[in-house]
Amino acid sequence: MPEGHLIHRHADEQHAALSGRVVRAASPQGRFDPRPYDGRAVTGVEAVGKHLLYHVDGAPAIHVHLGMRGLFLRHADPSAAPKPGTRLRLATDEVAYDLIAPIQCEPLGPQALAALRASLGPDPLRRDAARSEAVERLTAFRGPVGAAVLDQGVWAGIGNAWRAELLFLTGLHPAARGIGPDAAARLWETATAYMPLGRDAGQVISDPDAPDERWVYKRERCRRCGAAVRTWQLASRTAYACPVDQPG
């Protein structure tokens, strides 16, 4: 599933291409009603965690969650024919974006939109995210920190790759419980420092000097010390930890 850095990358690109422009909206697949959006101006595209929101003048917001299989196709020629499975096409005179196989693509009125926002924790990639709230939510979580950071109601946008690398960078074991405010703040600061690098590069970046490498994620040995990386299931995903750099 695309993690928050990729969703923000989609949002930034599409905001630049669509915001302030009248769009032609279509659903070749037929599973979304494009009529409330066709011929109206997009006023903004934003990401909140792993969720994309399209704001359109005079219409409900469009909420998209890509899930495991969802993707976007960008067409520099907006007259290019969409694939039959396209759930939603938004096109201007310069570009078209086709949304394929999302788990969610739905209109959201103001109440439903407010409920979605309220269900999510602070997003390390958003400027309006408060460090104090992030620390409070993380320290209040009753389970392991490795489960907390995957809970989108605690922090929004972090998936398994970022979990592994951010916990390594802060020296926290995924199974650690009851972490204090200082450790929570250190983890938040690490997330806000590294996730923008991932957004800009289009991939998880946990070492700017070796952007294609990871410290422990999907590695047999820790890239820092060479110790065998431990793996186990935590919050229904594979957790990774170095026994030396992340003592449990």
Whole-prediction pTM value?
0.96
Write out the catalytic residue numbers: 2-3, 50, 237
Residue 145 in this model has a pLDDT that exceeds 90: yes
User: At 16, is the pLDDT very low, low, confident or very high (cuts 50, 70, 90)?
Assistant: very high
SS (H, E, C) 143-209: CCHHHHCCCCCCCCCCCHHHHHHHHHHCCCCCCCCCCCHHHHHHHHHHHHHHHHHHHHHCCCCCCCC
- CA distance readout (Å), 220 to 224, 225, 231, 232, 239: 12, 12, 9, 13, 13
Per-residue model confidence (pLDDT) at position 165: 98
How far apart are the C-alpha atoms of 104 and 140, rounded to whole Å? Answer: 30
Q: What is the pLDDT averaged over residues 219-244?
A: 98
Domain ranges of the chain: 4-119, 131-241
Which single residue is written with the structure tokens 């011929």?
Answer: 39
Q: What is the pLDDT of residue 1?
A: 85
| For residue 4, pLDDT beyond 90 | yes
Q: Kindly indicate the confidence band of residue 95, based on its pLDDT and cuts at 50, 70 and 90.
A: very high
pLDDT at 181: 98
Cα angle vertex 200, ends 208, 212, to 5°? 40
Q: Is CATH 1.10.8.50 correct for 131-241?
A: yes
CATH number of 4-119: 3.20.190.10
Token output for 175: 């199974």
Q: What is the CA radius of gyration of the chain?
A: 20
Among candidates 153, 146, 86, 101, which has minimal Cα distance to 123?
A: 153
Averaged pLDDT score across all residues of the chain: 98
Q: Which of 197-220 are b and which e, b meaning 16 or more Cβ less than 10 Å from the residue's Cβ?
A: bbbeeeebbbbeeeeeebbbbebe
What mean pLDDT comes out for the span 69-90?
Answer: 97
Cβ neighbours of residue 112 under 8 Å, at least 6 residues apart? 63
Question: How far is the first Cα of the chain from the last one, in angstroms, to the nearest whole number?
Answer: 28
